């Protein structure tokens, strides 16, 4: 005899949160104390950020029950083995459901710590304190948390929103020029896909951006946060519009994986944006004049525009087949139709991609 039991789970969940731009690390610590006064606090950071900020940040968490967990700096730490080591340490300290995880660092730390938070005791709250430009304008916002797998980048993860994001612009002063440019790739991406005015601003203000003028940085960081907010509010789980943010990332992630992350994320995205821009032009979607603007701006910010000659481009194309946006014999790309406008979900064959690399 057949029967049916229906479980009805329609619900409204409020995962709203603030991005607090211009909040210093001590101010962030005090606000965390006020907001989570009785929580055990687990600060997850990397070996570079620990030397710069961990001691003063922990000192500012006055009276808090805290532990600082440090992982080696670099993308190679963003894996399941590191996640398990962090979980083993946290569990040994007997966390509760109201315990708080604080991600203090760049995009790798935010992704890793956020994924730990998403699965620890089936989910504990976490906050993001991004210390790199790339993390401040992109990866700390929107709730994508993940680790890498040998088959590709960010293949194991979750959507899990932070309770708050604190952005201290002063942390950008300690970035190397290469790391700062690394973050500018994501800033350029936002202009390219959504905001021609931002793109033009980046063209006209190269010296003040690279000189890290505070008012300029505040402007571009706030604008990127606003654009990311718009996309995430419309499509949190990447079922449609949020795929617009993948411009440059399909080929970029393949370049990262192929080089075992010796090419940084921003450099790889820059390479990917140029390649995917060229594909857009070859398909007749993007005017050649717009492609030249994209190539020139990426180069102006000290970012690469082509795949290193030591890499077999066929390997890069092969790796795109492991991308989350692959289906059948096609990989679905976000391409450009103009500076400031993008087209989501363009299915391409390997040969179409390889011909433009």
Residues annotated as catalytic are 122, 144, 186, 228, 238, 242, 246, 249, 253, 265
* Residue pair 223/239 in contact by the 8 Å Cβ criterion: no
CA distances to 3, 81, 332 from 236, rounded to whole Å, are 35, 28, 19
The alpha-carbon radius of gyration of the chain (Å, integer) is 21
Q: How many CA atoms lie within 13 A of 290 on its CB side?
A: 25
Distance between CA atoms of residues 43 and 222, nearest Å: 25
Could you give the CA distance from residue 127 to residue 131 in angstroms, rounded to a whole number?
A: 13
State the Cα–Cα distance between residues 126 and 259, nearest whole angstrom.
31
Count CB neighbours of 72 within 10 A. Answer: 10
Strand partners, 339: none
Which residues, other chains included, contact 35 with Cβ-Cβ below 8 Å and sequence gap of 6+? 163, 164
């Amino acid at each position: 005899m057949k029967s049916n039991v229906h479980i009805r789970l329609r619900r409204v969940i409020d995962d709203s949160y603030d991005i607090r731009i211009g909040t210093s690390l001590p101010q962030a610590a005090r606000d965390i104390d006020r907001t989570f006064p009785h929580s055990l606090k687990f600060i997850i950071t990397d070996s570079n950020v620990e030397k710069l900020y961990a001691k003063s940040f922990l000192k500012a968490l006055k009276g808090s029950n805290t532990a600082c967990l440090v992982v080696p700096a670099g993308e190679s730490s963003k894996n399941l083995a590191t996640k398990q080591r962090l979980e083993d340490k946290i569990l040994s300290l007997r966390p509760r459901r109201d315990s708080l995880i604080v991600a203090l660092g760049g995009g790798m730390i935010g992704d890793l710590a956020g994924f730990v938070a998403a699965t620890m005791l089936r989910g504990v709250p976490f906050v993001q304190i991004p210390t790199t430009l790339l993390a401040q304008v992109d990866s700390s916002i929107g709730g994508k948390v993940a680790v890498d797998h040998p088959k590709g980048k960010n293949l194991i993860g979750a959507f899990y929103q932070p309770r708050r994001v604190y952005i201290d612009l002063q942390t950008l002063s300690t970035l190397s020029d290469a790391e700062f440019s690394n973050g500018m790739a994501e800033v350029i991406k936002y202009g390219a896909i959504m905001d021609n005015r931002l793109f033009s601003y980046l063209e006209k203000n190269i010296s003040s951006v690279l000189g890290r003028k505070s008012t300029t940085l505040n402007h571009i960081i706030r604008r990127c946060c606003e654009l990311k907010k718009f996309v995430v509010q419309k499509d949190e789980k990447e079922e449609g519009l949020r795929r617009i943010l993948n411009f440059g990332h399909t080929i970029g992630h393949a370049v990262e994986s192929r080089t075992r992350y010796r090419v940084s994320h921003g450099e790889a995205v820059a390479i990917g944006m140029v390649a995917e821009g060229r594909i857009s032009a070859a398909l007749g979607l993007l005017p050649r004049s717009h492609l030249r603007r994209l190539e020139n701006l990426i180069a102006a910010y000290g970012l690469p525009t082509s795949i290193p000659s030591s890499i077999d481009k066929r390997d890069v194309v092969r790796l795109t087949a492991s991308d989350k946006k692959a289906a059948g014999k096609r990989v679905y790309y976000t391409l450009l139709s103009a500076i400031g406008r993008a087209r989501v979900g363009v299915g391409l064959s390997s040969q179409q991609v390889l011909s433009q690399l």
